[in-house]
Amino acid sequence: MSHTSLPAEVILNWPAGDMHGRKVMQSQKRLGDLKGIFADETARSSAEPATVVYQVQWWQPAEPGQEGGLFWGVTTIHPGTVGGEFYMTHGHFHANRTRAEYYATAQGEGLLMLMDDSRMTWTEKMSPGSLHFIDGRHAHRVINTGKAPLIFWACWPSDAGYDYGSIAKEGFGARVFNRDGSIEIRS
């Protein structure tokens, strides 16, 4: 019996946070896209709108919403602040609250902010090698508190979905600022 080995569909560059493959998708979030995310909206709207805050690459080997599949992605958050508040992701709940996720840090320093339905908010430290299990009930956002890009890998179910609405409306229960070189979490 003959046997053929197929090439892998996606090749990762772990430390660089890069994925290569025909079906790999990507998106970038610029300061101009992040209206209402930072506390100081005046500072955000007067900053250069083309500045990239974070970018995501991901692979969906199943249809979104299909049960049983897994998605894989990587996010790079650049270093920087808006009105003293560190660059961060939008953050979201999963539309399906029974769907968990893993984040694993490749490079950089930051905080994973988690929030439950009652708006109780807490953080976990992210540093190279740190692995974070995100319960499906918890909203999640990542904040780059360092001076270099923060790169983390993620794996989540194909039917997790996204609920950005409640975060867009009310945010998380805390924000993270650079105060004279030290990290300040304000609730």
**Residues binding ligand F6R (CB under 6 A):** 56, 73, 75, 89-92, 101, 140, 154, 156, 160
Q: List binders of Zn ion among 99-158 (CB under 5 A).
A: 101
Least CB distance to ligand F6R at residue 140 (A): 6
Cβ neighbours, 10 Å, residue 28: 12
**Structure tokens of 159?**
């039917």
Please identify, using beta-carbon distances, which residue of 122 and 162 lies nearer to ligand F6R. Answer: 162
Q: List binders of Zn ion among 75-104 (CB under 5 A).
A: 101
Least CB distance to ligand F6R at residue 4 (A): 33
Q: State the binding partner of 153 from ligand F6R, Zn ion, none, CB within 5 to 8 A by kind.
A: none
Please identify, using beta-carbon distances, which residue of 47 and 143 lies nearer to ligand F6R. Answer: 143
Q: What distance separates the 2 farthest-apart alpha carbons in the chain? A: 68
Please identify, using beta-carbon distances, which residue of 73 and 177 lies nearer to ligand F6R. Answer: 73
Cα separation, 147 vs 7, in Å, equals 37
Please identify, using beta-carbon distances, which residue of 17 and 73 lies nearer to ligand F6R. Answer: 73
Report the residue number whose CB is nearest to Zn ion: 101
Quick check: 8 and 20 in contact, CB under 8 A?
no
Cα separation, 69 vs 101, in Å, equals 13
Least CB distance to ligand F6R at residue 120 (A): 19
DSSP for 150-173 reads EEEEEEEETT---B-HHHHHH--S
Residue type, 86: F
Residue carrying the six token digits 């939008």: 90
Residue carrying the six token digits 């508190």: 145
Q: What are phi and psi of 158, to 5 degrees?
A: -65, -20
**Structure tokens of 152?**
């983390």
Q: State the binding partner of 91 from Zn ion, ligand F6R, none, CB within 5 to 8 A by kind.
A: ligand F6R
Q: State the binding partner of 171 from ligand F6R, Zn ion, none, CB within 5 to 8 A by kind.
A: none
Please identify, using beta-carbon distances, which residue of 17 and 91 lies nearer to ligand F6R. Answer: 91
- Sites of contact with Zn ion (CB under 5 A): 101
